[in-house]
A and B are shown apart, each in its own frame.
Chain A
Amino acid sequence: MVPTLFGRIQTRLFLLATVGLAVTALIVPVLPGTGDAELADLYRTAVAVLAAVAVLGVAWEFVYHALMQFRWEKDWPTLFGLLTLINEGLLVWALLALEAIPGVAVNPPAAAFWTHFLAVWLAVWLVANGPMRVPFIRWRFRGGRLV
Chain B
Amino acid sequence: MHSSPPIRGDLTPELLQTSQWTDEQVSAAGIPIHDIPFVTVGGGIGSFVTVDYLRIYGVPTDRMRVLSNIDTPWETYEYLTRVSQIPRPERIRSDSSSRPDNLWGFPSYALEEAWREKRLSHLWQIATEPILNDYWTPRAGTVFRGLEREAKRISYWDMLVKGQVRMVRKRVGGGYFTILTPPDGLSETRRVAFRSQYVHLAVGYPGLKFLPDLQDFRERHRDYTRVVNAYERHEHVYEALKTRPGVVMVRGGGIVASRVLQRLMDDREEFGLQTQIVHIFRTFVTGSHGPNVFMRRKGGHGWAYQGFNYPKSVWGGQLKARMRKLEGEDRKKLYQDIGGTNTPKRRRWQQQMAKGRRENWYHAFQGMVDKVEPGPDGRLISHVRSSNGRIQQYVSDFIIDCTGLEADIAEHRVLADLLQHGGAERNPLGRLEVERHFEVKGTASGDGALYASGAATLGGYFPGVDTFLGLQIAAQEIADDLARRGFCKKMGPFRSTSQWFKWAFNKAV
Contacts and interface: CB of A to CB of B under 8 A. Distances in A.
B497 A75 contact: no
Nearest to A76: B317
B316 A142 contact: yes
Interface of B is mostly: loop
Interface in B245-302: 290, 293-298
Interface string A71-89: 0111101111010000000
B362 to A, nearest CB: 26
Interface stretch (B127-135, B419-427, B439-447): B127-135
B311 A75 contact: yes
B108 interface: yes
A82 B127 contact: yes
* Listed residue (B132, B298, B312, B317) with the most chain A CB atoms within 10 angstroms of its CB: B317
A72 B290 contact: yes
Nearest to A74: B313
A68 to B, nearest CB: 8
Contacts of A73: 306-307, 311-313
A136 B493 contact: yes
A124 to B, nearest CB: 15
Interface stretch (B99-107, B218-226, B399-407): B99-107
Contact of B132 (A2, A79, A136): A79
Contacts of B128: 78-79
Interface string A1-42: 111100100000000000000000000000000000000000
Interface string B465-498: 0000000010010000000000000010110110
Contact of B316 (A1, A78, A80, A135): A1
A134 B104 contact: yes
Given A75-B311, A142-B316, A137 B306 contact: no
B493 A135 contact: yes
Given A4-B318, A75-B311, A135 B497 contact: yes
Nearest to B126: A78
Contacts of A72: 290, 295-298, 306, 311
A137 B491 contact: yes
Given A72-B290, A75-B311, A134 B131 contact: no
Given A2-B313, A73-B312, A130-B107, A141 B318 contact: no
A131 B319 contact: no
Given A133-B105, A134-B106, A143-B320, A75 B493 contact: no
Interface in A124-147: 130-131, 133-138, 140-143
B436 to A, nearest CB: 12
Nearest to A5: B318
Contacts of B126: 78
Contacts of A130: 106-108, 111
Contacts of A74: 311-313, 317-319
Contacts of A7: 317
A125 to B, nearest CB: 10
Interface string B125-147: 01111111000000000000000
A65 to B, nearest CB: 9
B312 A75 contact: yes
B210 interface: no
Contacts of B106: 130-131, 133-134
A7 B296 CA distance: 24
B297 A75 contact: no
Given A1-B316, A2-B313, A72-B296, A78 B496 contact: no
A140 B129 CA distance: 18
A130 B96 CA distance: 11
B335 interface: no
A80 B312 CA distance: 15
Interface in A93-147: 130-131, 133-138, 140-143
Contacts of A78: 126-129
A14 to B, nearest CB: 12
A74 B290 CA distance: 14
Interface in B77-129: 97, 103-108, 111, 126-129
Nearest to B103: A137
A129 B293 CA distance: 29
A97 B321 CA distance: 41
A68, A70, A143 — which one has the most chain B CB atoms within 10 A of its CB?
A143
A143 to B, nearest CB: 5
7 contacts: A78-B129, A79-B128, A134-B104, A134-B497, A135-B496, A137-B496, A140-B97
Given A75-B311, A134-B106, A143-B316, 4 more contacts: A2-B318, A7-B317, A72-B296, A72-B311
Interface of A: 1-4, 7, 68-70, 72-75, 77-80, 82, 130-131, 133-138, 140-143
